[in-house]
Chains A and B, each alone.
Chain A
Amino acid sequence: MAELTYREAVAEGIAQEMRRDEDVVFLGEDIGAAGGVFKATVGLLKEFGPVRVRDTPISEQAILGAAMGSAMTGLKPIAEIMFSDFLAVCWDIVANEIAKARYMTGGQMSMPLVIRTANGGGSRFGAQHSQSVENWAMMVPGLKVVAPSTPADVKGLLAAAIRDPDPVMFFEQKSLYPIKGEVPDGELVDELGTAKVLRDGDDVTICALAAMVPRAIQAAEILSSEHGIEATVVDLRSLVPLDTKTILRETAKTGRLVTVEENPRLCGWGAEVASIVADENFWDLDGPVIRITTPHIPLPAADELEDATMPSADRIVREVSEKID
């Protein structure tokens, strides 16, 4: 068992799969010689060389166009979009081409590629470099959507995403890059579409994703010590496929659902989770669903304002303790 940072786990996961399968290639802006702008891909160019690890021009369309073409012709590319905000630049390729290829060719063609991207706020990067856009990807049929919260999950889920025969959007939360965690030694391959129950409590079930997971856990400890409220915390880890079985089981157990979402409120992933729970678990609900989200606004760059917009542990504690009765 080694202690790795979230960013080191990214490079480890990619390296593990590139060693195993020579069809795996990696391309993106400044990912090679510079080791990534977030230093999440250090060492890969040195180990695998400039044919398999390619620095590209600043053109998101070129990156994903090349990834798509190479996936269509037999490779298993990993493409990096530096900031998830820039997915908007190349959304035609993502939403209309990559996501539809298997369907429109009647299964003759698969699209085994991974689009990695740094997602989310908290780093004072302003409205165009801080968005949490996992819900954009969740809305497109044909895409799988993964967003890990720990170094071990980064490595295991990234390996699973690379081995998956279909396109996977892999959202790394940029404020999590420096966090450390234990990662098992040796080959690590996780399973897409499996949530993890990180804390067990009888009063309320909190579903969270990526950077909101450590905040939800911190909030759960405060709720327990200061308010006597025992929360179950579920790390969804993957939005598509979504582990509805775990969500429904854990929600039925407590009768209360809280979603903690970094994406803006309207059509955030929690709305879909709430809808599924209302459909299938209505008679187990013991009170209204509580959604805690970033408001429906462009993210501000100023420290205090950005902190005020994103769900914090304090805000989770306040909202849950006020609304739980």
Chain B
Amino acid sequence: MAMNVIMPQLGETVSEGTVSVWHAEVGDKVSPKTPLFDVSSDKVEMEVPAPGEGTLLEVRVEAGTTVSVGEVIAIIGKEGEAVEVVAPPAAEKKETKAEITAPAPALSIATKASNRDSNGNPLSPAVRRLIAENGLDPDTISGSGAGGRIKKKDVLAHLGSGAAAKPAPRTDSLTISGETEVIPFNNLRKMTAEHMVRSKATSPHVLQAVEADFASVGRARQAVSTQWKEREGFSLTWLPFVARAVCIAIRDFQRINAQIEGESLVVQRRINLGIAVDLDFDGLVAPVVKDADRMSLSELARAIRDVSSRARANKLTPDDFTGGTYTISNSGVFGTMITAPIINQPQVAILSTDGVTKKPVVIESEDGESIAIRPVGVLAQSFDHRAIDGAYSAAFLHRVREVIETTSWKSMLT
């Protein structure tokens, strides 16, 4: 008994649909478990399985054709069965509309572009997440599920096979001899280790650095140093100035303040700065100062002081760790010259400030060139080359330097 395949209703207000792809040819076995064709309208794109088990006897509508809802577009029946002449409802065939069948741009991990592998097998949410997090190509993973579907454990096995080459971690019979000391990772160390490996595996890091003249910042600090410390109870460091400059620069280079989802860059409207805080050599955390761009320099200084002192007192809450859009790491206290930071996932860039030291600098003016002693520091940014390119990152860094060097910081504090 032959069975009609009809154009489905794609929505209450939709009266027609376009067959974009046939997944079977005449003579193929079809079943409700496998997609028979893809259909699209101006609202949705979806796969349609066969309405029953059988053999595809006839295809009445070529891919790319738009027909009315309810129209018979194919016949399924027993192999060799004569196709009954089923009178289709009168329907006019429309011109092929190429723009309708063109795939929509991918918006997130969940879009159609990535939810199947190249064999047409579905990729589950868990598999898609693992593939995205680890930067894998699904075609290199062998699937053990129905029809070769890649299951979560296949991805884990695939990841494990790479890790198998590494020496197995020693978990037992470790003894402290005179020559070694075993320091087991605490949870923070484990999380940091996992995050760093994942970040390096996910994002192709590129390092760029600029040298900035901190003379204007130095004048401001010097001018208010004593009264600030008396009023606020802590010293005003270089860091809030850099953070403020970053906020101003991000306004002009918003793609720095973003994350990658699937094949899209999701640019964040809020600027929430992660501030890397060392816990007295006992771990690293990056609490977040939310809406940092809406704060004045003084407010920003207090907010950074607040999260870093709470971090050291172990009084941060889960909220303090969420929503970060860009991170600043500060190793300057030890006088380092440059640090190549690792991106704080899922962000796309991170800035390191290092020591600000006095150096001879060539000053150009109308009177010619001269050498002056200026406080100079390096601003180093690692960025995710998937998200942006070197020129964009460089232009952003140039803007940060410009803000640091040309802003009259003193007037903001006095």
Chain A: residues with CB nearer than 8 A to chain B?
Answer: 202, 255, 282-287, 325
Contact = CB atoms under 8 A, between A and B. Distances in A.
Interface in B125-154: 125-129, 145-146, 149, 151-153
Contacts of A202: 153
B280 to A, nearest CB: 33
B208 interface: no
B275 to A, nearest CB: 28
A282 B129 CA distance: 10
Task: Name A's interface SS.
Answer: loop
Interface of B: 124-129, 145-146, 149, 151-153
A214 to B, nearest CB: 28
A285 B130 CA distance: 11
A188 B152 CA distance: 41
A286 B151 CA distance: 6
A286 B127 contact: yes
Nearest to B128: A283
A282 B108 CA distance: 14
A284 B146 contact: no
B126 A283 contact: yes
A282 B125 contact: yes
B149 A284 contact: no
25 contacts: A202-B153, A255-B124, A255-B126, A255-B151, A282-B125, A283-B125, A283-B126, A283-B128, A283-B129, A284-B125, A284-B126, A284-B129, A285-B124, A285-B125, A285-B126, A286-B124, A286-B125, A286-B126, A286-B127, A286-B151, A286-B152, A325-B145, A325-B146, A325-B149, A325-B151
Nearest to B109: A283
A307 to B, nearest CB: 28
Nearest to A278: B125
Contacts of A325: 145-146, 149, 151
A185 B127 CA distance: 48
Contacts of B127: 286
Contacts of B152: 255, 286
Closest 8 CB pairs of A and B: A325-B146, A286-B152, A283-B129, A286-B126, A325-B145, A286-B124, A255-B152, A255-B126
B60 to A, nearest CB: 31
Nearest to A284: B126
Given A284-B125, A325-B149, A325-B151, 16 more contacts: A202-B153, A255-B126, A282-B125, A283-B125, A283-B128, A284-B126, A284-B129, A285-B124, A286-B124, A286-B126, A286-B151, A286-B152, A287-B124, A287-B151, A325-B145, A325-B146
